[in-house]
């Protein structure tokens, strides 16, 4: 076999002007692929990174970019629930920051401000799974569930079996899982749920014979959404896996989730229904609303983003909120790979004298991301940002705390992938009670997080060079 390949290569080299043909082919490939990339109109740094990287991969680069490069997709929207042309009416109870951020969320996501009657902050998976299983058991009409990771372990089996019991009782159960995040879970694991009358769908699965079709690999639903009876909702950062249950594993992720009761569940259901319709090919139709109840006292708004929109809604929300801050900016994220706008917002706030704190894990589950995040520390420290690394477990919560009344909690990391490639969802709270509880949660984590010092040891080969290399590829992460 090897000799055959060698003979074929020698025969190829014997073709007259083969070098010229290869050069012309490479040039045509580079011009064609380069033009395709340039027309995407992305950030110049990311565009140049792709151009230089793929120029070194003749022909193979086309396949790489086809499956992993930036992509835009079109999806049907529930137009009655989303109205991007609308503007919010001014309210005497809203301050300037609240009005501006609410209008930004409406314009970019199409989802208006809403309310919740009750908000429970669930720290770590143990608290989340107990509450979720209780609410599933009490469901009467419908359960809509969407997760990035849903594994066939003890936690996943417990949730699946709870759904099976409700499906057998006549409750409409719909489960949407991401094909990449839940790739380790065999399809047969969900067969008992389907047999009980539940519906199961996979987001962007790879289908045999259709591997050429875009997209299937790089665009993922990173959302965690549960809506029960159109009234109770869950969202945040915790997936369905033993890896996020501290009762089962001492190294379980440190994470945060929310349980909400009220009208806000309807907005999360809009996001789920559109994802479900896109994944299944069905028409996006909202089920009838639950019986009207008095509005809640918690002001909250759903902000969703994904590659089906050019606005990068959650990215804009973070950057705008940081710019509007007057006293403090506290950010927690497991993946910190900011773009220029986000980095400028954080450093500007610190230079202006605000209390700016960044909490990240000491070690992420990706070595490259860990080094990439640390490559930004010097600039942050020089501007006055206080950086902390959480050490006991892997910090996985994604939160932003602004002043005393504004909090953003959701599924989105502070990185390029979450802002541009993933389908994400966040909740924007204008409420001092939620902000105060988030402050106390972050303070507990800060107590276990050594502060990063600007005089820390940074040897060239073990620290500075790996950080620089990781920073170089950070636009592609």
Instruction: Give the tens place of pLDDT for each residue, 240-250.
Output: 999 999 999 99
Between 27-31, 218-222, 434-438, the lowest mean confidence (pLDDT) is in 27-31
Query: Is the predicted pLDDT of residue 29 greater than 80, yes or no?
Result: no
* 448 has catalytic annotation: no
% of the chain with per-residue pLDDT over 70: 78
Query: Is the predicted pLDDT of residue 62 greater than 70, yes or no?
Result: no
How far is Cα 46 from Cα 473, in angstroms, rounded to an integer? 9
Helix (H, G, I), strand (E, B) or coil at 447: coil
Question: Among residues 195, 111, 196, 190, which one has the least CA distance to residue 150?
Answer: 190
What pLDDT score does 84 carry? 47
DSSP states of 215-258:
PSSS--B---EEEETTTEEEEES--BSGGG-TTT-TT--B-EEE
* 224 has catalytic annotation: yes
Between 261-270, 333-342, 366-375, 382-391, the lowest mean confidence (pLDDT) is in 366-375
What pLDDT score does 28 carry? 73
325: which DSSP letter?
-
* 257 has catalytic annotation: no
Helix (H, G, I), strand (E, B) or coil at 7: helix
Tell me the whole-structure pTM to 2 decimals: 0.87
* 362 has catalytic annotation: no
Instruction: Give the tens place of pLDDT for each residue, 11-26.
Output: 555 556 656 665 676 6
Read off the pLDDT band of 362 (50, 70, 90): very high
Select which of 318, 396, 405, 416 is catalytic.
Answer: 396
419: which DSSP letter?
I
Between 71-85, 111-125, 461-475, the lowest mean confidence (pLDDT) is in 71-85
What pLDDT score does 470 carry? 80
What pLDDT score does 78 carry? 67
* 242 has catalytic annotation: no
Select which of 128, 222, 257, 416 is catalytic.
Answer: 222
Question: Among residues 195, 265, 198, 270, which one has the least CA distance to residue 228?
Answer: 265
Taking all residues of the chain, what is their mean pLDDT, rounded to a whole number? 87
Select which of 204, 315, 318, 398 is catalytic.
Answer: 398
Query: Is the predicted pLDDT of residue 83 greater than 60, yes or no?
Result: no
| Stronger pLDDT, 21 or 277, i.e. the higher one | 277
Between 75-79, 396-400, 421-425, the lowest mean confidence (pLDDT) is in 75-79
Number of other residues whose CB lies within 10 A of the CB of residue 249: 14
Select which of 229, 245, 261, 415 is catalytic.
Answer: 229
How far is Cα 329 from Cα 51, in angstroms, rounded to an integer? 36
* 84 has catalytic annotation: no
């Amino acid at each position: 076999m090897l000799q055959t390949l060698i003979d074929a290569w020698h025969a190829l080299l014997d073709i007259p002007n083969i070098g010229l043909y290869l050069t012309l082919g490479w040039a045509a490939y580079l011009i064609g692929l380069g033009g395709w990339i340039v027309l995407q109109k992305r950030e110049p740094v990311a565009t140049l990174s792709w151009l230089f990287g793929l120029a070194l991969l003749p022909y193979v680069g086309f396949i790489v970019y086809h499956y992993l490069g930036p992509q835009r997709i079109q999806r049907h929207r529930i137009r009655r629930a989303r109205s991007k042309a609308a503007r919010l009416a001014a309210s005497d109870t809203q301050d300037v920051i609240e009005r501006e951020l609410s209008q930004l969320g409406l314009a970019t996501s199409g989802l208006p401000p809403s309310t919740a009657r009750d908000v429970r902050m669930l720290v770590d998976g143990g608290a989340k799974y107990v509450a979720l299983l209780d609410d599933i058991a009490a469901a009467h009409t419908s359960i809509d569930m969407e997760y990035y990771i849903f594994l066939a372990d003890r936690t996943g089996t417990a949730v699946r079996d709870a759904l099976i019991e409700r499906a057998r009782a006549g409750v409409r159960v719909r489960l949407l899982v991401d094909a990449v995040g839940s790739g380790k879970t065999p399809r047969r694991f969900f067969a008992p749920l389907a047999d009980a009358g539940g519906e199961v769908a996979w987001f962007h699965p790879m289908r045999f014979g259709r591997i050429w079709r875009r997209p299937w690999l790089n665009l993922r639903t990173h959302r965690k959404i549960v809506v029960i009876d159109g009234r109770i909702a869950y969202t945040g950062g915790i997936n369905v896996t033993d890896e996020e249950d501290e009762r089962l594993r001492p190294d379980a992720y440190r994470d945060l989730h929310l349980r909400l009761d009220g009208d806000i569940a309807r907005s999360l259901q809009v996001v789920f229904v559109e994802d479900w319709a896109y994944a299944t090919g069905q028409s996006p139709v909202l089920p009838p609303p639950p019986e009207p109840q008095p509005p809640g006292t918690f002001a909250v708004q759903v902000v969703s983003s994904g590659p089906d929109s050019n606005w990068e809604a959650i990215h804009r929300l973070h950057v705008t909120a940081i710019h509007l801050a007057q006293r403090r900016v506290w950010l927690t994220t497991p993946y910190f790979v900011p773009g220029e706008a986000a980095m400028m917002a954080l450093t500007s706030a610190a230079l202006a004298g605000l209390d700016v704190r960044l909490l990240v894990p000491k070690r992420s589950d990706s070595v490259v991301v860990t080094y990439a995040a640390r490559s930004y520390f010097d600039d942050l420290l020089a501007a006055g940002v206080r950086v902390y690394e959480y050490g006991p477990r892997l910090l996985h919560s994604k939160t932003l705390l602004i002043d005393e009344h504004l909090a953003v909690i959701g599924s989105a990391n502070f990185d390029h992938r979450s802002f541009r490639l993933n389908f994400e969802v966040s909740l924007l709270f204008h409420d001092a009670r939620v902000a105060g509880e988030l402050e106390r949660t972050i303070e507990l984590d800060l107590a276990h997080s050594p502060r990063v010092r600007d005089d820390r040891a940074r040897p060239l080969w073990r620290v500075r060079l790996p950080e620089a290399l990781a920073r170089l590829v950070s636009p592609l992460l």
